[in-house]
Amino acid sequence: MKLLLAGIPIALALFASQAQAQASTPVYTWRNVSQALGVQAENLQMNARGQLSGSVRYEGHHFAFLSNRDLTGIQRWPQLGASDSIAKAINGAGQIAGTAKLGEYNWQAFATEAGGEHPYLLAGARGEFNAAVGINEAGAVAGNRGYWGGQPNSATKWIDHGQTVIELPSLGGASTLAAGINAAGQVVGEAQDQNGDLHAVLWSVSGREVQDLGTLGGRWSTARALNDQGLVVGGSFTGDAVGFHAFAYDSASQQMRDLGTLGWGQSFARAINNTGMVGGTLANGFISPSDPSLIGHAFITGAHAQGMWDLNSFVHLQDGHYLADVLNINDAGQILALDEQGAGYLLTPLPLPVPEPAAFSLLLAGLFALRGVQRRRGH
């Protein structure tokens, strides 16, 4: 028996080497979104079913769209009587939300029913540029109201089919900006304090209370997404006022954690799913929170925002392209990402590698051989 047990590590090592060879292959399949849809797609967002929304540019105008679930084409082009429309958010039912141009200097927030049907304008939005940025499963919408000419933004939440408007409070300053909404109706973004500094914030379900999430030691931070468990992600300047790092904020413990940079100069988190898997970008130059970064590499974390990996370690694109930023991660583990030229890719995780039958045969053969030796020595 001692000989048998001693031989097990040898067999397991052979087995592990075969498994390691399998693990070195990409763990995601990928599809170029524009190639799959047959149109040049921009402003992409993804829902829990892998369905995409965004806009298509044609003859100088933008048109909002909703894709088929299998990404073989466009399911719906919402008609708003507008010269331009851009979808900026999508929920699991295929409701999309965004902004539509109704006239010169007049963009208004809109949403649709399930499946992109029956688009409607969101009521009570004062301002010249209004846009929805998030929509949850109940149809509650988060967005922003602004004015041409540099006046402060105002974060807004719409409920009751867009008929009830809730202006989200600031931290004492003039400007607020909403970035995302979860199933409960909590909204995240940034708000200006009395000193003029912008801090990441979490607005309550009612929209009446605002919580300052703090920073990683610097003067400025911003939140970009949250999941249904209240885990918030975004970016913050660090204490040296030079580094800008991705963070995860746990609402239960009220702690902000630095996710690191993998040796890059900066990092920023834009996406999180309900397992706590986070995605974003790594860069050595300046990262703009308002626009996806195409100057570095995309990253992901494990569940509960643990660990950090370069997404290109798991995905090999063609012709030297690489993934530069993560826009969305759904609960199926699908990732919506951009390459260095701004092209969108839908990544779908492969099943966990199952060792080849030959590997099991190798392991069993080794154990049986060792057992045979033990029996002969026993005689």
Neighbour-count burial of 17, counting CB atoms closer than 10 A to its CB (0-12 exposed, 13-18 middle, 19+ buried)? exposed
Neighbour-count burial of 265, counting CB atoms closer than 10 A to its CB (0-12 exposed, 13-18 middle, 19+ buried)? middle
Domain that holds residue 17: 1-26+360-379
Does some domain include residue 7?
yes
Does some domain include residue 33?
no
Integer Cα distance of 11 and 30 in angstroms: 35
For the chain, the domain total comes to 1
Does some domain include residue 10?
yes
Confidence (pLDDT) at 152: 80
Does some domain include residue 373?
yes
Integer Cα distance of 251 and 42 in angstroms: 33
Does some domain include residue 137?
no
- Compute the CA torsion angle 197, 203, 209, 127 (nearest 10 deg): 70
Label the pairing between strands 106-111 and 120-121.
Answer: antiparallel
Neighbour-count burial of 378, counting CB atoms closer than 10 A to its CB (0-12 exposed, 13-18 middle, 19+ buried)? exposed
Query: End-to-end CA distance of the chain, in Å?
Result: 14
Which residue is listed with tokens 């809109």? 110
Integer Cα distance of 199 and 212 in angstroms: 7
Pull the structure tokens for residue 50.
Answer: 């892998």
Query: In one letter, which amino acid is 376?
Result: R
Integer Cα distance of 131 and 160 in angstroms: 17
| pLDDT, tens digit, 9 for 90 and up, residues 2-58 | 434 444 444 444 344 444 444 444 589 999 999 999 999 999 999 999 999 999 988
User: Can you tell me whether residue 78 is helix, strand or coil?
Assistant: coil
Does some domain include residue 13?
yes
| pLDDT, tens digit, 9 for 90 and up, residues 224-240 | 999 999 999 999 999 88
Q: Which residues of the chain have pLDDT under 70?
A: 1-26, 124-127, 149-150, 286-294, 352-379
Confidence (pLDDT) at 135: 98
Scored b (16 or more CB within 10 A) or e, 206-239 reads: ebeebbebbbbbbebbbbbbbbebebbbbbbbbe
Does some domain include residue 368?
yes
Does some domain include residue 36?
no
